[in-house]
């Protein structure tokens, strides 16, 4: 590592010298240029021993003081969580739509703008577990730039909440630029790609010799194109429609959806990874299709080592057998959804957007 390339996130070897307070120690590092000093921000649980080297990462660089702050924990250096990722992505996409003048702002946009305000505030304050990942996604803005954008976005959100749409438009015009639009669009893509792909799960050996599982991101438009092909029979068309509706719903809420030749759909909900299987039902095949879908969900979860993934059965209509729903939900722990007038429906539809904490609370009171 070059001593001249000390940037945020750079890993350094530091030697604690003496405490200044409960969290800050003076420290030395041979990785720094001559004339630069080092402070150690102590967050780790282990006790520091003066003179004992440790590895940390650069938390802050102050060229005017020729000083760096180094952290000895992973605080601020964690990836964006499943809980926050879809919130960030949907908010960034909404702002991009507004900035590109494809849509006017409304009261509902206040929440999206507040979410992005929070992202820039993370970059300025550096006070959250994922701030560095957010900082990188937003193009590493300076603290000054991050504070200004956080303030501006907060003012626009407040104007929208107070019903002052014209004031909000004027404020937005003051910060709108092609550069900001590109930044927001790029950030949405970068954050979406932080979702660990299903292909990275532990794969149990495949079904056949030389089998290759080729993963693809699910785009609702491409599924609908398949769905519209006249050569498909009714069952295949319904299957494609189910996946198109599911993909559109999840994508609109910021989730990355994947599939391969076996798994119909996979995503990482706020509550964790989720596997989906779609089935077209008729009066004659209802029980057989449900049994097959249930078996496939268990198999896919095992084969990919996703022990804690939630399982979802997506049906073309509600099951007519009264006991099936209770059996799947209560006995098998499989969530059931279906189509109703071209939209997702079912007793657990809200669970698609539920946080992990809410799931735990709900299960604890069940």
The domain spanning residue 25 has which CATH number?
2.40.50
Single residue among 164, 192, 220 that ends a domain in this structure: 192
Instruction: Identify the pLDDT of residue 2.
Output: 46
Q: Are residues 176 and 105 in the same domain?
A: yes
Q: Is 119 helix (H, G, I), strand (E, B) or coil?
A: helix
Q: Are residues 63 and 166 in the same domain?
A: no
Query: Mean of the pLDDT values across residues 334-363?
Result: 82
Q: Are residues 186 and 203 in the same domain?
A: no
Q: Is the pLDDT of residue 1 over 50?
A: no
Q: Are residues 129 and 224 in the same domain?
A: no
Instruction: Identify the pLDDT of residue 208.
Output: 37
With cut-offs at 50, 70 and 90, classify the pLDDT of residue 215: low
Q: How far apart are CA 136 and CA 143, in angstroms?
A: 13
Least confident interval from 46-50, 110-114, 132-136, 204-208: 204-208
Q: Are residues 254 and 346 in the same domain?
A: yes
Exposure b/e, 262-289, CB count within 10 A at least 16 = b: ebbbbbbbbbebbbbbbbbbeeeebeeb
Q: Is the pLDDT of residue 231 over 50?
A: no
Q: Are residues 260 and 173 in the same domain?
A: no
Q: Are residues 114 and 239 in the same domain?
A: no
With cut-offs at 50, 70 and 90, classify the pLDDT of residue 199: low
Q: Is the pLDDT of residue 169 over 70?
A: yes
Structural domain contains residue 335: yes
With cut-offs at 50, 70 and 90, classify the pLDDT of residue 212: very low
The residue segments making up the domain with residue 27 are: 11-71
What does the block give as tokens for 107?
Answer: 């009261």
Asked if 24 and 55 count as a contact pair (C-beta separation under 8 A), the reply is: no
Q: How far apart are CA 191 and CA 255, in angstroms?
A: 10
Structural domain contains residue 79: no
Structural domain contains residue 125: yes
Q: Are residues 63 and 89 in the same domain?
A: no
Structural domain contains residue 2: no
- Residue 207 phi, psi dihedral angles, 5° rounding: -75, -30
Query: Mean of the pLDDT values across residues 57-85?
Result: 90
Q: How far apart are CA 125 and CA 134, in angstroms?
A: 12
Q: Which long-range contacts (CB under 8 A, 24 or more apart) does 16-25 make?
A: 16/40, 16/42, 16/48, 16/49, 16/50, 16/51, 16/52, 16/54, 17/50, 17/51, 18/50, 19/48
Q: Is the pLDDT of residue 366 over 80?
A: no
Single residue among 192, 207, 224 that ends a domain in this structure: 192
Instruction: Identify the pLDDT of residue 172.
Output: 95
Higher pLDDT, 208 or 79: 79
- Domain tally for the chain? 3
Dump pLDDT digits (tens) for 247-293: 999 999 999 898 877 889 999 999 889 999 999 998 899 999 999 99
Q: Is the pLDDT of residue 224 over 70?
A: no
Q: Is the pLDDT of residue 27 over 50?
A: yes
Q: Are residues 66 and 94 in the same domain?
A: no
14 forms beta bridges with 54
Q: Are residues 167 and 228 in the same domain?
A: no
Q: For every residue of 304-363, which 3-state class applies, written as one string? A: CCCCCCEEEEEECCCCCCHHHHHHHHHHCCEEEEEEECCEEECCCHHHHHCCHHHHHHHH
Query: Mean of the pLDDT values across residues 331-344?
Result: 94
Instruction: Identify the pLDDT of residue 218.
Output: 59
Instruction: Identify the pLDDT of residue 195.
Output: 85
Instruction: Identify the pLDDT of residue 310.
Output: 95
How far is CA 245 from each of CA 281, 287, 310, 335, rounded to the nearest angstrom? 17, 23, 19, 17
Q: Provide the whole-model pTM.
A: 0.76
Tell me the pLDDT of the chain averaged across its residues.
Answer: 86
Q: Are residues 219 and 332 in the same domain?
A: yes
Q: pLDDT > 70: what percent of the chain?
A: 86
Structural domain contains residue 239: yes
Helix axes 85-99 and 178-192, enclosed angle (nearest 10): 150
Q: Is the pLDDT of residue 229 over 50?
A: no
Instruction: Identify the pLDDT of residue 37.
Output: 92
Instruction: Identify the pLDDT of residue 216.
Output: 61
Q: Is the pLDDT of residue 114 over 90?
A: yes
Q: pLDDT > 90: what percent of the chain?
A: 58
């Amino acid at each position: 590592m070059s001593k001249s390339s000390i940037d945020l996130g750079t890993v350094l070897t530091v030697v604690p010298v003496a405490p200044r307070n409960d969290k800050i120690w003076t420290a030395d590092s041979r990785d720094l240029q001559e004339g630069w000093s080092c402070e150690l921000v102590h967050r780790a649980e282990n006790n520091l021993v003066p003179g004992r080297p440790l590895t940390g990462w650069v938390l802050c660089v102050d060229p005017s003081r020729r000083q760096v702050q180094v952290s000895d924990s992973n605080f601020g250096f964690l990836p964006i969580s499943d809980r926050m990722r879809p919130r960030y992505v949907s908010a960034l996409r909404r702002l991009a739509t507004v900035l590109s003048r494809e849509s006017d702002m409304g009261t509902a946009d206040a929440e999206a703008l507040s979410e992005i305000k929070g992202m820039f505030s993370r970059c300025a304050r550096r006070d959250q577990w994922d701030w560095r990942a957010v900082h990188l996604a937003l193009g590493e803005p300076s603290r000054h730039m991050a504070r200004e954008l956080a303030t501006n976005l907060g003012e626009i959100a407040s104007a929208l909440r107070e019903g002052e749409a014209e004031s909000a438009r004027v404020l937005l015009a003051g910060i709108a630029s092609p550069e900001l639009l590109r930044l927001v669009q790029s950030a949405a893509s970068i954050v979406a790609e932080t979702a660990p792909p299903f292909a990275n799960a532990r794969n149990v050996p495949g079904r056949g010799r030389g089998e290759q599982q080729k993963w693809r991101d699910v785009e609702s438009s491409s599924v609908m194109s398949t769905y519209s092909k006249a050569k498909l029979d009714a069952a295949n068309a319904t299957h494609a429609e189910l996946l198109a509706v599911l993909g559109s719903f999840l994508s609109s809420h910021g989730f990355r959806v994947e599939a391969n030749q076996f798994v119909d759909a996979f995503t990482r909900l706020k509550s964790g990874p989720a596997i989906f299987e779609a089935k077209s039902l008729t009066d004659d095949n209802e029980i057989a299709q449900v049994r097959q879908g249930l078996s496939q969900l268990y198999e896919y979860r095992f084969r990919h080592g996703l022990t804690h993934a939630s399982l979802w059965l997506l049906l073309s209509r509600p099951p007519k057998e009264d006991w099936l729903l209770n059996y799947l939900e209560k006995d098998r722990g499989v969530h059931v959804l279906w189509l109703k007038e071209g939209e997702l429906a079912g007793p657990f539809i809200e669970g698609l957007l539920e946080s992990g904490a809410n799931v735990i609370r709900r299960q604890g009171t069940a």
